[in-house]
Amino acid sequence: MRGHRRKALITAAIGTSISAALAGTALPAIAAHTQLPSSVTLVGSLQDELGCAGEWQADCAATRLQSVPGTEGLYQATFDIPAGSYEVKTALNDSWTENYGADGVAGGANIVVQAPGGRVTFTYDHNTHRLSDDLPESLGGAAAGHWLTSDMIAWKGFDPAQATSFQLYTAENGGLTVSDGKILGGTGKELSLMPSGLDGALAGKYPHLAGSTVLRLPAEAAREARELLKGQLILAAHDAAGNAVATTGVQIPGVLDEVYASAAKRDLGLRWKGDRPELSLWAPTARNVTLHVYDNGSGGEPKASVTMKDGRDGVWSVLGDKGWEGDYYLFEVEVFVPETGKVEKNFVTDPYSVGLSTNSERSLLLNLADPALAPADWEKIAKPVVEKPEDLSIYELHVRDFSITDETVPSTDRGTYKAFTHQGSDGMRHLQEMTKSGINAVHLLPVNDIATIEERRELRQEPQCDLPALPPDSEEQQACVGAVAAKDGFNWGYDPLHYTTPEGSYATNPEGAIRTLEFREMVAGLNKSGARVIQDVVYNHTSGAGQNSSHNLDRIVPGYYHRLNPTTGALETSTCCANTATENTMMGKLMVDSLVTLAKTYKLDGFRFDLMGHHTKQNLLDVRAALDQLTLQRDGVDGKNIYLYGEGWEFGEVANDARFVQATQQNMAGTGIGTFSDRLRDAVRGGGPFDEDPRVQGFASGLFTDPNVSPASGTPEEQRATLLLAQDQIKVGLTGNLKDYSFIDRTGATVKGSDVRYGGEPAGYTADPSEVISYVDAHDNETLFDALTLKLPQGTSMEDRIRMNTLALSTTAFGQGVSFWHAGTENLRSKSLDRNSYDSGDWFNVLDHTGTTNGFARGLPPERDNRDKYPYMKSLLADPTLSPQPAHIAASRERAKELLEIRKSSPLFHLGDAKLIQQKLSFPSAGPDQAPGVVVMRLDDTVGSDVDKDLKGMVVIFNASDEAAIQAVPGAAGASYSLHSVQASGADPIVKTAAYDPAGGSFTVPARTVAVFQAK
């Protein structure tokens, strides 16, 4: 979901010292004069190295600058800083209210400091608001140069009129400096200016570089590209006297993709040739790569060290020895690192690892074809049958949540893959109930190797408080949980370290190949229970980047795998963390190769892409094409039956197709790849995930029909207008968000789905119903129960809350798209109002299968994402009438299961074709006089082909109002409608009072009720 939810990882940009005066051409930005500050603090990613409690601490006394005697407005301090790359700025008066960054700009960009190790003096001048240091002047601070092809370079943001000549300076081992306007320490290659700029294919490939100064290398220099790319690169502009007037570093992904294009066809990572392993690593800028093999996953000297062979495609390879299976390995990559300005020797794991040692210390030489790693009958595993994507009813689940508190699972197996093998546990029996009702796929939150979870159980910490004894509205629980959050066993897992190896903390033993076997056992257990298995994957970012990161991609090919700012070269972090650049060939290849391996190795049935809009549309089409090649006979999985979907949100540096055609909601129409619909979600719940006042109401939370005390939803007239728009948005959602579906809207006009607006966007954006995921809650943001708790009038009874919960879920169950539920939503699951529980521990993420608790009133949620909402939360958490009792939870569960049973009972709910939907699905209640809070949907099987042999059709009435609704449906008079048999014999006594009058063709439905009528 937009506004992602993981730990903010501050990673330094590629650069050098503050005093690199030639690192760009921007004019100085002098801030307006302000009063002398009471304090000036050096803030940034180096503070935890200097005695502060953490990074970016504006009130840390350890990094304060001191006033220089006799010079008003000048502040200075000297610090002993470890070698590394850091980002800094100044904060005044122990606060972020007044802070200054690059060029003295108020609130400006972070300043990059490349520290060689040792004492550095920082000086802040309050007259200019500039921060400077005494590091020697060096080059490469910004990286606005883009080497695109062997003979073409673009310089973003530079006006060529400011120079008379240009050169590309190279230095094999770094060390380029400037003195008196002259570049020293390397060799210059003369460049010629291309006045026409980027054109043709390059202009189309790099739209974000439009308007750049374009320079051409001479043919001889272009032929030397492979060698030049292995050292330091600086682009320089000179005046007529030969003095450098501007310099910039150079980004190299484009030229790497061109020069080493053939690498895209290579097999990378580990392959077995008989009983000998072959290892291949793409490292085109490396000078040398050595393979080190170890007996153990940690400690000890290598048993073998072998120099790998460099190919013309940048791939280093080696054929290993017999007997290495089960051993561990690292690559030693000798490579120039622009961040440090010198050649480094990096010991790294394999980006293509299929096995790892504990805490990902070393890669494992694992043969995935070893029969010992397969459960019984693994090759004959029976998959639950799903004929088309629209038949899916998906259940989103976190591996640890599922069993960590389940006392019917052996203690050694709780919170692990192994828990899914205990078919008689409370959790598995509940899951079997859900699959019997209609759930047919389990979506697992990230199960790839995760960066932030300690894999050794004995080293994890638990909250040291009597949490159940604390008051329901206390801050103590969150403080206690937060104290160990970084060291406990819980995290959502959206901080990937290795993409193709299962997470070790979910295995009973993280060492060796156990995790591979147990992951397969989990898949088999879920399949046996009636669920297909979908893996949540996170290729849009990594847990970190740079030379000091634990993540290895940037330490193998520095500056290639991550998306960098086109003008500064700073790491883009709009996803939350270090954005990957899957538009670059080899990052895109890593993504495709990883998914193919996962599909074949673990017989997966689908993939959900985190922040899919940060990928290119072509990435996803490449994935689709690669999976389609997999066959059951050859690969053990039918790739064409693997469903793909993801978050098609549009934001950040790639928004509006700024760099490429994105994999966003509207762009994916016609691909058969699904995207989550915020349209239905927000229309049903009300407001949006980031409302200042969380009480904004929607269709299923009382908008207009049962208003709460908040003014945020507007006047009664505004509420009515918003509600009728929401009803149109819901109607479009029920069609599968089809953009071309035609119906009569709230004004009485005939419109298409794309004509109905959601903010400034179309509500309808799909070409096929398989391209939408219909949901009203997920792991992100508040659960459905919590959202309704915030939005419904506080005095709403628990019975009515259950009814609205059921009504909200019905909009996904009875829609034509793919239905998606968050685990526990059927049980009124709460996270004690936490809107971002990614690191909130087991306490706030509790998933109870016994129906004893739903997780509400377990204290105020963690303050990091919720404190501003505490005033709204506190009275709710303290209200005992808002905590459901076991009977309430049981009632909710039974009604939710009935929704699934009804969805499963007829193919009319998942027609799977836009033309059929237009033909058979209609909304009789329309126009300005339609009842607020009521949506009427008719499915007519008497027109066109006979889809359901047992029915002539159905009428579904969603009554969210607080009064019974009577709705006349044209053409329904004289028919034989009756309440659906599931509801007629179900657990809800109120829905049983719903009635059909054949004389007038009208239907009566109680308040806060969804009723399904069928005609046979």
- Residue numbers annotated as active site: 610, 647
For residue 897, the surrounding DSSP H or E stretch is helix 886-905
Cβ atoms of 309 and 317 within 8 Å: the answer is yes
Burial class (CB in 10 A: 0-12, 13-18, 19+), 845: buried
Cα–Cα distance measured from residue 542 to residue 556, given in angstroms and rounded to the nearest whole number: 14
Distance, C-alpha 953 to centroid of its chain = 40
For residue 918, the surrounding DSSP H or E stretch is helix 914-920
Give the orientation angle of helix 784-791 with respect to helix 798-813, to 10 degrees. 130
Give the orientation angle of helix 426-437 with respect to helix 886-905, to 10 degrees. 40
Alpha-carbon distance values, 54 to 10, 48, 58, 59 (Å):
11, 5, 10, 11
CB neighbourhood size of 413 (10 A): 18
Cα–Cα distance measured from residue 408 to residue 822, given in angstroms and rounded to the nearest whole number: 23
List the one residue out of 382, 394, 384 whose CA is nearest residue 910: 394
Helices marked H in 576-677: 585-602, 617-628, 632-635
Cα–Cα distance measured from residue 324 to residue 440, given in angstroms and rounded to the nearest whole number: 41
Burial class (CB in 10 A: 0-12, 13-18, 19+), 18: buried
Alpha-carbon distance values, 255 to 148, 223, 337, 778 (Å):
5, 12, 17, 41
Residue 946: CB partners within 8 Å, gap ≥ 6? none
List the one residue out of 193, 170, 183, 157 whose CA is nearest residue 243: 183
Number of alpha carbons in the 13 Å side-chain half-sphere of residue 29: 12
Query: Given CA atoms 404, 410, 411, 414 in this order, what sign does their dihedral have?
Result: negative
Alpha-carbon distance values, 137 to 121, 166, 410 (Å):
14, 21, 62
For residue 807, the surrounding DSSP H or E stretch is helix 798-813
Tokens of 185: 């320490």
CB neighbourhood size of 710 (10 A): 16
Cα–Cα distance measured from residue 323 to residue 412, given in angstroms and rounded to the nearest whole number: 32
Tokens of 433: 């109930």
Q: Report how far apart the first and last C-alpha atoms of the chain are (Å, whole number).
A: 42
Distance, C-alpha 730 to centroid of its chain = 26
